[in-house]
C-alpha cells in the first residue's frame, strides 16, 4: 500500500496532469490522503499570483456550499491541509483563488484493508479541458475478502454496479457478493496464470519469461477479447449503472487496459493515460507474496515481480496490436468495440464535465 513517505513523490509526479485554464491564470491542483484520513491539497499557479486560496468541502462531488469555506490560506503557500480522524467518509474539495479559477479535487486512492488497488479515476483533464467526473467510476482488484471497514467505504462510494473481469475459474475460487449491488461478470482471461504460477513455484522459469507472458496476454486482450471489452463499454453507456466499480484480480491488466481505452475515447492526453495505468505500481502491495517469493530462484522472483506489476511496454504492445489489426484507434472503436461516434459522445457526456 502507499506509505506516507510516498505522498510527496505522488504529488510531484501527478501535479502537472491536472490543470484548469481561466482568463487570469493557469492553475494545477491535486489532493492526496494519508492512512488516517487527513488530506493535503496542493496547487501551482502560472503566473505566480498572490492572494487568498479558499477551500470548500463536500461529502458528494459537485455540490459545495460556496458561502462557507472550510479553510483558507495564502495562495503562495502552495498547499493546505484538511485534518480529520475519519478514514471512512470520503471528502471532495473545491479550491478557489481570489474567488476565481475553481478547482474540484479529491483523493484518488482509498486505503483499504483487504482490497488491492482501489481508486477513483476521476479528475483527469481531456485535451479540451473537460474533467473526468469524480465519484462516477472506480477500479480495483478482487473485493472477495473485503473487511467490515472496506464494506463501509464501498457503501460510502455509492457503488451500484461491479463489473468483474475475472474468469469463471477465478470467480468460482473467490466469488464476490455485495449487498444492493448488481454484479456483472464479463470474463477476460489474462493468460494461463495457473500454469505460470506452477512453473514459478517449481522454479521452471527463465529470465524474461514473465515479460513474454504478459506481452502475450495483452496481445490476446485485443485479438480475443475485443467483443468482451465492448460489452463493458455498453454497461457504461447506461447512466442508471453509476457509480461503477471495474475489478479484476489485482485490477492492473484487464482493468488497466480497459481504462486506457476509455480514456482514449474521452480524449485524455497520452501522458495522463500512461500515468493512470502505471499508478497501479504505487497501489498494489506485493507483501502478500513475500513468504512464497523468498523461497524462489532469482529468475522465478523476477517473473513473480513482473506478474505483480505493470509496465508501459505492455500497454504499448496492446495499442500496436490495435494498429496492426484495425489501422487506427477510431476504426477499432467503430468496428472492433462497436462503439459508434454517437455513443462515444454519450460516454463523454456521462463521464466528463
Comparing 2-6, 117-121, 253-257, which segment has the lowest mean pLDDT? 2-6
Encode pLDDT of 188-240 as tens digits.
999 888 898 899 989 899 889 999 999 999 999 999 999 999 999 999 999 99
Write down the pLDDT at residue 36. 82
Q: Side by side, which strands form the sheet with 100-106?
A: 71-74, 52-58, 92-97, 100-106
4-107 shares its CATH topology with 137-351: no
Nearest C-alpha neighbor of 344 from the set 246, 252, 267? 267
Return the percent helix, strand and coil in the chain, to nearest 5. 45, 20, 35
Neighbours of 35 (CB within 10 A): 11
The confidence score (pLDDT) of residue 5 equals 47
pLDDT beyond 80 at 17: no
pLDDT at 294 over 90: no
Residue 142 or 89, more confident? 142
CATH architecture designation of domain 137-351? Alpha-Beta Complex (3.90)
Confidence category of residue 24, pLDDT binned at 50, 70, 90: low
Instruction: Compute the average pLDDT of residues 45-69.
Output: 94
Give the per-residue pLDDT at 6.
52
Q: By mean pLDDT, which of 13-17, 78-82, 348-352 is the weakest?
A: 13-17
CATH of domain 4-107: 2.60.40.10
Per-residue pLDDT for 303 more than 60?
yes
7: pLDDT strictly greater than 80: no
Q: What is the pLDDT of residue 178?
A: 92
Q: DSSP class of residue 316?
A: H
pLDDT confidence bin for 182, thresholds 50/70/90: very high
Mean pLDDT of 43-63: 94
Average pLDDT of the residues in 277-301: 89
Q: Which of 10-19, 86-95, 328-337 has the weakest average pLDDT?
A: 10-19
Using CA atoms, how far residue 270 sits from 21, 264, 282, in Å, is 19, 8, 19
What band does 12 get if pLDDT is binned at 50, 70 and 90? Answer: very low
What digits encode the pLDDT tens for the residues 93-131?
999 999 999 999 999 999 999 999 999 999 999 999 999
Stronger pLDDT, 16 or 328, i.e. the higher one: 328
**Cell 500512461 sits on residue:** 274
Rg (the chain; Cα; Å): 21
Q: What is the mean pLDDT of residues 323-331?
A: 98
User: Looking up cell 495499442, which residue turns up?
Assistant: 319
Domain ranges within the chain, ordered by starting residue: 4-107, 137-351
Amino acid at each position: 500500500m502507499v506509505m506516507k513517505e510516498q505522498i510527496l513523490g505522488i504529488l510531484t509526479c501527478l501535479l502537472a496532469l491536472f490543470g484548469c485554464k481561466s482568463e487570469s491564470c493557469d492553475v494545477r491542483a491535486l489532493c492526496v490522503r494519508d492512512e488516517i484520513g487527513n488530506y493535503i491539497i496542493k496547487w501551482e499557479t502560472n503566473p505566480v499570483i498572490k492572494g487568498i486560496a479558499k477551500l470548500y468541502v463536500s461529502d458528494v462531488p459537485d455540490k459545495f456550499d460556496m458561502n462557507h469555506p472550510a479553510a483558507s490560506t495564502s495562495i503562495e503557500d502552495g498547499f493546505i491541509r484538511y485534518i480529520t480522524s475519519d478514514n471512512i467518509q470520503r471528502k471532495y474539495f473545491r479550491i478557489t483563488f481570489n474567488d476565481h479559477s475553481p478547482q474540484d479535487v479529491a483523493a484518488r486512492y482509498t486505503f483499504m484493508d483487504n482490497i488491492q488497488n482501489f481508486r477513483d479515476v476521476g479528475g483527469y483533464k481531456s485535451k479540451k479541458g473537460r474533467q473526468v467526473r469524480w465519484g462516477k467510476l472506480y477500479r480495483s482488484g478482487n473485493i472477495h475478502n473485503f473487511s467490515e471497514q472496506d464494506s463501509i467505504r464501498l457503501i460510502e462510494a455509492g457503488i451500484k454496479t461491479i463489473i468483474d473481469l475475472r474468469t469463471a475459474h477465478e470467480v468460482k475460487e473467490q466469488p464476490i457478493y455485495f449487498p444492493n449491488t448488481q454484479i456483472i461478470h464479463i470474463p477476460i482471461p489474462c493468460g494461463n496464470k495457473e500454469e505460470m504460477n506452477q512453473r514459478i513455484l517449481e522454479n521452471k522459469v527463465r529470465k524474461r519469461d514473465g515479460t513474454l507472458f504478459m506481452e502475450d496476454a495483452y496481445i490476446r486482450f485485443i485479438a480475443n477479447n475485443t467483443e468482451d471489452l465492448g460489452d463493458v463499454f455498453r454497461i457504461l453507456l447506461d447512466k442508471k449503472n453509476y457509480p461503477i466499480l471495474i475489478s479484476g484480480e489485482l485490477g492492473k491488466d484487464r482493468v488497466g487496459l480497459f481504462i486506457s481505452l476509455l480514456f482514449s475515447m474521452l480524449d485524455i492526453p497520452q501522458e495522463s493515460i500512461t500515468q493512470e495505468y502505471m499508478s497501479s505500481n504505487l497501489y498494489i502491495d506485493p507483501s502478500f507474496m513475500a513468504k512464497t517469493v523468498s523461497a524462489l530462484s532469482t529468475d522465478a522472483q523476477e517473473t513473480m515481480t513482473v506478474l505483480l506489476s505493470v509496465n508501459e511496454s505492455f500497454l504499448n504492445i496492446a495499442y500496436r496490436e490495435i494498429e496492426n489489426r484495425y489501422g487506427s484507434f477510431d476504426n477499432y472503436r467503430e468496428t472492433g468495440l462497436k462503439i459508434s461516434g454517437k455513443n462515444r459522445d454519450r460516454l463523454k457526456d456521462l463521464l466528463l464535465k
